[in-house]
Amino acid sequence: MEMRPVAEQMDDATIESVATYVRTFEPKAPVHTVRGDVKQGRKLYGACVACHGTKAEGNSELQAPALAGQSDWYLVTQLERFQSGARGASSQDMQGAQMRAAVNALPDGAAIADVVAYINTLAPARR
């Protein structure tokens, strides 16, 4: 919402110019801040493979985002939000409801940390 007033002032050519410039940025690997049991996380990640892929590369057809290469604090926050019902509770959010059901299989915060610690070991897909 903070960028909305700026975006509303841009015409299509300006938006395209900005997008072209942003595509030149080289991605930086995020700093890993989450600690967990990677071996246990790999086991727990097995439930995620069907949607997010074996290498956490995501699946656009299922609208499942890539997880590898994401900031780990962000992943933990989103998993916690699904568990609490802050995400995925709307009856119109089918993907969110599926994600919420999957996350609720994780018994506690340690399990979330373990899954995210495992995801941290996976290389992001090349663009």
- Contact by Cβ (8 Å): 71, 77: no
pLDDT at position 71 is 95
pLDDT at position 83 is 93
Structural domain boundaries, residue 47? 30-119
Q: Is residue 92 part of a domain?
A: yes
pLDDT at position 126 is 67
Q: Is residue 82 part of a domain?
A: yes
Domain count, the chain: 1
CA distance 62 to 48: 12
Output the DSSP codes for 25-55.
PPP-PPPP-----HHHHHHHHTTTHHHH-TT
Q: Is residue 61 part of a domain?
A: yes
Q: Is residue 103 part of a domain?
A: yes
Q: Is residue 106 part of a domain?
A: yes
pLDDT at position 127 is 57
| pLDDT averaged per 10 residues in sequence order, the chain, 127 residues | 85 92 86 96 95 95 94 96 91 88 92 97 81
Q: Residue 54: which CATH number? A: 1.10.760.10
Q: What SS3 state is found at 64?
A: strand
